[in-house]
């Protein structure tokens, strides 16, 4: 589903987080249950829902802008809006 700057492509059914590189969601004043990863050799990003232990692949229209807490919030909002 296309939602703003982020397009969620698919759910990764079988995964090991060891295969992914932490990108956003680890540093901050509050605990985050969604973490954003990247993967060597891929231009896409991956959102891990820690509560449901599900991983979703998504495309960012402007990958270089995915660096701030505001963009983190935008990704999470796009995830909820996508209906996954």
Q: For strands 45-49 and 21-24, give the pairing.
A: unpaired
pLDDT at 68: 87
The tokens 């209906």 sit on which residue? 83
Domain boundaries, position 62 = 2-82
Residue 1 has pLDDT above 50, yes or no: no
For the stretch 12-49, pLDDT in tens is 999 999 999 999 887 777 778 899 999 999 999 999 99
- How far apart are the C-alpha atoms of 58 and 45, rounded to whole Å? 5
Per the structure, the count of domains in the chain is: 1
Residue 83 has pLDDT above 90, yes or no: no
pTM of the full predicted structure? 0.88
Residue 82 has pLDDT above 60, yes or no: yes
To the nearest whole number, what is the mean pLDDT of the chain?
A: 89
């Amino acid at each position: 589903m296309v939602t703003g700057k982020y397009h969620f492509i698919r759910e990764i059914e079988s995964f090991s987080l060891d295969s992914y590189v932490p990108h956003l969601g680890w540093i901050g004043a509050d605990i985050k249950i969604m973490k954003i990863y990247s993967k060597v050799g891929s231009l896409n990003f991956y959102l891990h829902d820690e509560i449901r232990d599900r991983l979703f692949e998504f495309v960012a229209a402007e990958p270089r802008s995915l660096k701030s807490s505001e963009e983190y919030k935008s990704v999470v909002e796009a995830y909820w809006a996508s209906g996954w």
